[in-house]
């Protein structure tokens, strides 16, 4: 019987990296370095981005930015209309995308007969829509909502477009949430004589809500940060009044975009400051979503 003695050299790291040829050890080290490098690039860039933005924008981060109106002079410019419009758009998207998205998810998970071609079509459709670039939604919006229905370049149009952009995401997240509810819950309810809708409304939905909420908030935060579709449907350059549902508007990301392009360094600072505000809005939404996910994570 041959005894295989593992080579144990104490200056190297302990097994299992020791098994095999010596080259294995440095391969491991190389790989680990490569991985740490990846992490470093990702997180390092994030850190640099945040620091750079905050440092650049700090001087302009004052109440004027939050409460003032835009101006041709950077010292006097503010972003109130843009910030308000962003909040309104967010509210609109929330009100529209969540019900439609959740209902669609319920339909696909609970009601749809998978063998029917139209249901398969809907499924594939949603997957495809999730992959469509947001600017194409902007073109859609321009053709149908701004021009077609003739609503014009108003807040409502922007809200509708953004809803369509995030709808697939809400649907996917809601489906995941519904799927994670064990079937035994449904079966138990059916056994007690509940109708399908009763099962969904009273058993499945409440259990799936945390997952849906997380997904919706993440989708919402994405909608709030979207710029391209809004550019296409005409978020105008200079808007110096509070936005209304059927009024002209400019949203915070678009305002940042406009300010970025002004070479006057004063506007660059302003753009950075506005970016801080936008980041605060987006990141707090994300934090709420993550918090919800952790808090309400159910173990079945």
The angle subtended at Cα 204 by Cα 200 and Cα 210, nearest 5°, is 130
Q: Report the run of H or E that residue 40 belongs to, with start and end.
A: helix 23-57
35 interacts with other proteins by CB under 8 A: yes
Minimum Å distance from CB 268 to other proteins? Answer: 7
| Gap between the Cα atoms of 255 and 270, Å rounded | 10
> For residue 247, how many other CB atoms are within 10 A of its CB?
16
Q: How many residues bind other proteins (CB under 8 A)?
A: 122
Window 217-246: contact mask with other proteins (x via CB under 8 A)? -x--xx-xxxxx--xx-x-xxxxxxxxxx-
Residues 6+ apart with CB under 8 A from 63: none
Minimum Å distance from CB 64 to other proteins? Answer: 15
260 interacts with other proteins by CB under 8 A: yes
Minimum Å distance from CB 137 to other proteins? Answer: 8
Residues within window 113-172 making contact with other proteins, judged by CB under 8 A? 121-122, 124-129, 131-140, 142-144, 147, 152, 155, 164, 167-168, 171
Minimum Å distance from CB 269 to other proteins? Answer: 11
Q: How many Å is the maximal CA-CA distance in the chain?
A: 89
Residues within window 55-114 making contact with other proteins, judged by CB under 8 A? 56, 71-72, 87-88, 91-92, 94-95, 99-100, 103-104, 106-108, 111-112
Q: How far is CA 257 from CA 74, 102, 171, 225, 275, in A?
A: 15, 33, 30, 11, 10
Which of the stretches 58-66, 178-186, 260-268 binds other proteins when contact is defined by CB under 8 A?
A: 260-268
280 interacts with other proteins by CB under 8 A: no
Q: Which tokens belong to 79?
A: 């972003």
Minimum Å distance from CB 184 to other proteins? Answer: 20
Burial of 77 from C-beta contacts in 10 A (0-12 / 13-18 / 19+): buried
Which of the stretches 59-67, 177-185, 186-194, 207-215 binds other proteins when contact is defined by CB under 8 A?
A: 207-215
Residue 65 or 224: the one with the smaller Cβ distance to other proteins is 224
Minimum Å distance from CB 133 to other proteins? Answer: 3
Minimum Å distance from CB 146 to other proteins? Answer: 9
Please provide the size of the chain in residues: 300
From candidates 22, 32, 120, 297, binder to other proteins by CB under 8 A? 32
| Prior bond of 16 cis (ω within 30°) | yes
| Gap between the Cα atoms of 218 and 144, Å rounded | 27
Which of the stretches 59-67, 177-185, 186-194, 283-291 binds other proteins when contact is defined by CB under 8 A?
A: 283-291
> For residue 197, how many other CB atoms are within 10 A of its CB?
11
């Amino acid at each position: 019987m041959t005894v295989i003695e593992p080579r144990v050299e104490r200056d190297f790291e302990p097994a299992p990296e020791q098994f095999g040829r010596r080259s294995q050890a440095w391969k491991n080290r190389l790989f680990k370095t490569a991985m740490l490098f990846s992490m470093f690039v990702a997180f390092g860039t994030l850190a640099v981005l945040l620091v750079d933005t905050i440092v650049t924008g700090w001087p302009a981060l004052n109440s004027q930015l939050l409460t003032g109106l835009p101006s041709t002079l950077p010292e006097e410019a503010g972003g109130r209309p843009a910030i308000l419009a962003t909040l309104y758009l967010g509210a609109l998207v929330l009100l529209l995308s969540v019900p439609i998205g959740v209902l669609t998810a319920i339909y696909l998970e609970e009601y749809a007969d998978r063998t029917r071609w139209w249901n398969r079509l809907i499924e594939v459709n949603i997957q495809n829509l999730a992959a469509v670039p947001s600017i194409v939604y902007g073109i859609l919006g321009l053709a149908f909502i701004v021009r077609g229905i003739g609503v014009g370049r108003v807040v409502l149009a922007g809200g509708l477009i953004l809803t369509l952009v995030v709808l697939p995401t809400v649907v996917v997240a809601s489906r995941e949430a519904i799927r994670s509810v064990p079937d035994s819950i449904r079966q138990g309810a059916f056994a007690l004589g509940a109708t399908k809708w009763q099962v969904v409304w009273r058993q499945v939905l409440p259990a799936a809500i945390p997952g849906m909420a997380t997904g919706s908030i993440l989708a919402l935060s994405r909608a709030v940060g979207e710029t391209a579709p809004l550019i296409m449907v005409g978020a105008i350059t200079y808007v110096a009044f509070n936005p209304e549902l059927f009024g002209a508007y400019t949203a915070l990301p678009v305002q940042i975009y406009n300010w970025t392009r002004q070479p006057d360094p004063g506007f660059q600072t302003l753009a950075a400051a506005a970016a801080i505000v936008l980041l605060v809005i987006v990141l707090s939404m994300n934090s709420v979503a993550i918090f919800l996910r952790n808090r309400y994570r159910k173990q079945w």
